[in-house]
Amino acid sequence: MVIVEDIEGVRAEVSSRRRQGKLIIFVPTMGNLHQGHVALIRHAKHYGGTVLVSLYVNPLQFGVNEDFSTYPRTLETDKAVLMEEKADILFLPDDQTMYPRGIEDQTKVEVPRLGGVLEGVTRPHFFRGVTTVVNRLFNIVQADIAVFGKKDYQQWIVIKRMVNDLAMPIEIVGVDTVREQDGLALSSRNNYLTPEQRRKAPMLYRGLLRAAEKLRSGERAYERIEQAAFEDIQSGGLRPDYIGVRRQQDLMVPDEADTAWVVLGAAYVGKTRLIDNIEVEIKV
Ligand code: PAF
């Protein structure tokens, strides 16, 4: 695995692989790699091209009271995971490379509306931070395909919209969420949980599952389904932030004609905020 830290270095690596006829498949991460990331890298490897992973904890997507300073940074174990998974290139930019003029002066990219619902209500800075960094990373890396986890469902939809709106020549692929045996979606933030909180954490998934089952069995009173899931999660000892039954394509409230839904939710366990979602498709 080649490790590069600057833009020229990454572009030189990418161009030489492209000259050999290789597809470039990009997996952007913030490190602290777990089996969810491994699934992304394995998916990327399927294409048979060059797999490029970036690792950068992006300050722009954290709010002032969020966990930027305590976000787990585990570079040496991350490198070992990437070697094991046979990633080809690791891009390790620093703040100077990503935001040479500082974050205030950085040109921002914003997806309106889609970036302001659900997660965007509680974390109004978040998607702007993500789309800004991902846009810059895409321009640096110039990959053919980029792979994202569907655990961050809204992030995946927002990025697809950005790529479409800005006519960016890259294909965006989503990979299914990897879960613990009890259903908890893998996340770097699970590291923050005490044993007691870890025991309660799967209640988010269970609440969403119940909502998904109702949709599958024909119920269409979305607000009632959301409210019941909210109460289920609350009675499991979590503090739900939102539960939303939305259509997959654009996260709008579905209408009768829709057949592809997603139930999304966020909940606090202590101070840790977890998110999850379940896709529901009805074949007609
Ligand atoms: O999902 C993540 O890890 C981050 O939001 C991303 C896409 C790497 C941007 O910083």
Digit-coded pLDDT (tens) for 115-149:
999 999 999 999 999 999 999 999 999 999 999 99
Longest CA–CA separation in the chain, Å: 57
* Cβ atoms within 10 Å of 115's Cβ, excluding its own: 24
The per-residue pLDDT for 283 is 76
Domains of the chain with bracketed CATH = 2-175 (3.40.50.620), 188-279 (3.30.1300.10)
Q: Is 28 in the pocket of ligand 1 (CB under 6 A)?
A: yes
Q: Is 152 in the pocket of ligand 1 (CB under 6 A)?
A: yes
Contact by Cβ (8 Å): 26, 143 = yes
34 is catalytic: no
Instruction: Single out the catalytic residue among 37, 43, 46, 125.
Output: 37
Contact by Cβ (8 Å): 177, 256 = no
Residue 284 has pLDDT above 80, yes or no: no
Q: What distance in Å separates the CA atoms of residue 266 and residue 243, rounded to the nearest whole number? A: 7
Which of 134, 140, 150, 158 has the most ligand 1 atoms within 8 A of CB, as the residue to mutate?
134
* CB contact set of 166 (below 8 Å; sequence gap of 6+): 109, 135
Q: What distance in Å separates the CA atoms of residue 281 and residue 2, rounded to the nearest whole number? A: 41
Q: How sure is the predictor about 256, in pLDDT bands with cuts at 50, 70 and 90?
A: confident
What does pLDDT average to over the chain?
A: 97
pTM: 0.97
Q: What distance in Å separates the CA atoms of residue 39 and residue 246, rounded to the nearest whole number? A: 26
Q: Whose CA is nearest to atom 5 of ligand 1?
A: 130
- Cα first-last separation, the chain: 47
Radius of gyration of the chain, Cα coordinates, nearest whole angstrom: 19
Read off the pLDDT of residues 30-70 as tens digits, 9 standing for 90 and up: 999 999 999 999 999 999 999 999 999 999 999 998 999 99
Dist. CA 282 → ligand 1 center (Å) = 30
Read off the pLDDT of residues 199-225 as tens digits, 9 standing for 90 and up: 999 999 999 999 999 999 999 999 999
Q: Whose CA is nearest to atom 6 of ligand 1?
A: 29
Dist. CA 29 → ligand 1 center (Å) = 5
The per-residue pLDDT for 282 is 83
- Alpha carbon separation from 50 to 71, 89, 268 (Å, rounded): 28, 8, 38
Which of 126, 130, 188 has the most ligand 1 atoms within 8 A of CB, as the residue to mutate?
130
Q: What distance in Å separates the CA atoms of residue 169 and residue 47, rounded to the nearest whole number? A: 17
Residue 190 has pLDDT above 80, yes or no: yes
* Cβ atoms within 10 Å of 73's Cβ, excluding its own: 12
The per-residue pLDDT for 201 is 98
Atom of ligand 1 at shortest range from CA of 61: 10
What secondary structure letter does DSSP report for 105?
T
What secondary structure letter does DSSP report for 179?
B
- The amino acid at residue 271 is K
Contact by Cβ (8 Å): 108, 101 = no
Dist. CA 231 → ligand 1 center (Å) = 30
Q: Is 154 in the pocket of ligand 1 (CB under 6 A)?
A: no
Q: Is 119 in the pocket of ligand 1 (CB under 6 A)?
A: no
Atom of ligand 1 at shortest range from CA of 29: 8
Q: Which SS3 state, helix, strand or coil, does residue 58 take?
A: coil
